[in-house]
Amino acid sequence: MKNCIIVVALLLITVRSHAGWLDDAVRNVGENLGNRAVNDAGNSAYEGAKQGAKGVVNHKDEKKRSKVVSEDSDDSNNSVTRKGTDRKASVTGDSDNSGGSLTENEEIYSKYDFVPGDKVIFYDDFSDTDVGEFPRKWHLKGPKGTGNNAVEVIVLQGKRFIRSQPATGDTNQNSSTQYLRLTQKGDLPEKFTIEFDAYFITELGGGYNTYYHLYLLHDNDTWPGLSGQPNEGVFYFSGAGGTSINTTTGMNKHDNKFHHIAISVNGTFVKAYIDNVRVINDPDALLRPIKLIGINMGVSGGLASERVMIGNVRLAEGGKNIKSALETDGKIITHGILFDTGKDIIKSESLPTLKMILGILNDNHNLKFSIEGHTDNQGNKGINLPLSQKRAAAVKSWLLGKGIDAARLNTKGFGDSKPLDSNKTTEGRANNRRVEFVKF
């Protein structure tokens, strides 16, 4: 008995003396898993931000930059920080700015009908731009007078965003305008979608708040206007709601949080959403052709703010007709079924896509689907494959819960083994992250 006690005591002493090593080991494993989870997570603009900071900012340069929101802010989940070391930005758990799983918010999202386009044209998570620099996939070339206050890439909770550089001293803060570097010639597709996350600060005194204009313009000579009722092709979003040339919808989301903005375009018809609420429904919102896309952001009244920022920008061509896809391809490719980071929990925003698949199965009782999950090639293959399998199974479980016979559904996960596009670009990787429904 005494010998046992002595052995246990020695073990405790040994563990205590190596506690620092043990903590470091656990921390390293956790960070690696967290980094992998984020790299795989991007089934949407929400999850798109790859956290690895490719560039480094030295301490001397850091001092020259404008101040940022401290990490000990009351709003710790949304605080902004810059990494002044050579170490990559770490990820804080499975952070999720969209809020709530499908089972929790399915009723709330029951009237939400946005389905993302299925072929990504432009995608930026700002992972290829050094912290503190202007984003590489954007430019300032646009209509005169739209503002040219520069933006910079910052890190927030391990993810990257572009932020309007705050005013210094007693000067007013100018709005920032930047344009997507698009490679296509001529008009954008007849149907397309745009998504991004935007930070809405708590309403400032006098009703001032952050705002974000989306420009869908003919060319560099089109003046979009910034005040009063916007022109065709200009859409206004803030914590107070959304506005197009013909419609306005009010809301109150001044809460120091990110909110997801989603826009669906079909010809001249535009629908737009802030989270689960449709704020624009305008059949005559813009003029074609559309050759230039820009985002203007700022603070009303010119007040200074450190929290004017956007992230996870996704532009995609509208989906192929589902019936045509089934007849010609024998499958439906979806990019609108989203999951919590590194998990198989379906997010609320997936409901429109899931309901679309459910409707097809209910209308065609002999139809059977193999539900197949796919990832990009980022991270460990040993994680990609089982995660894609679990996510396919989660989709099947949801459909079974809606009354679909289990005999009509199979599941498979392929990880990154069947890419649709090149994994060398962010757009290609975004196209590769998907759920397919294959007839069998």
Of residues 371 and 347, the one with the higher pLDDT is 371
- Could you tell me if residue 379 is left (phi over 0), alpha (psi between -120 and 50 degrees) or otherwise beta? left
* Closest C-alpha among 73, 67, 61 to residue 304: 67
CATH topology of domain 102-317: Jelly Rolls (2.60.120)
pLDDT at position 224 is 67
* 281-287 average pLDDT score: 93
Residue 237's SS3 state is: strand
Inter-CA distances, 357 with 184, 350, 401, Å: 31, 11, 13
Is the bond into 230 cis (omega within 30 degrees of 0)? no
Q: Dihedrals φ, ψ of 155, to 5°?
A: -110, 130
CATH topology of domain 322-439: 60s Ribosomal Protein L30; Chain: A; (3.30.1330)
Domain boundaries, the chain: 102-317, 322-439
pLDDT at residue 34 tops 80: no
Tell the residue number behind the tokens 């450190």, with chain if given: 306
Tell the residue number behind the tokens 């589902």, with chain if given: 322
Q: What is the pLDDT of residues 229-259, one digit of tens each?
A: 457 899 999 999 999 999 999 998 889 999 9
Q: What is the mean pLDDT of the chain?
A: 76
Q: Dihedrals φ, ψ of 142, to 5°?
A: -165, -170
Question: Where is 38: in which H helix or E strand?
Answer: helix 19-41
Q: What is the pLDDT of residues 386-427, one digit of tens each?
A: 999 999 999 999 999 999 999 999 999 999 999 988 888 888
pLDDT at position 106 is 75
* 130-152 average pLDDT score: 81
* 131-153 average pLDDT score: 81
* 359-375 average pLDDT score: 94
67-76, 110-119, 151-160, 256-265: range with lowest mean pLDDT? 67-76
Q: What is the pLDDT of residues 251-262, one digit of tens each?
A: 988 899 999 999
* Closest C-alpha among 339, 345, 419 to residue 376: 419
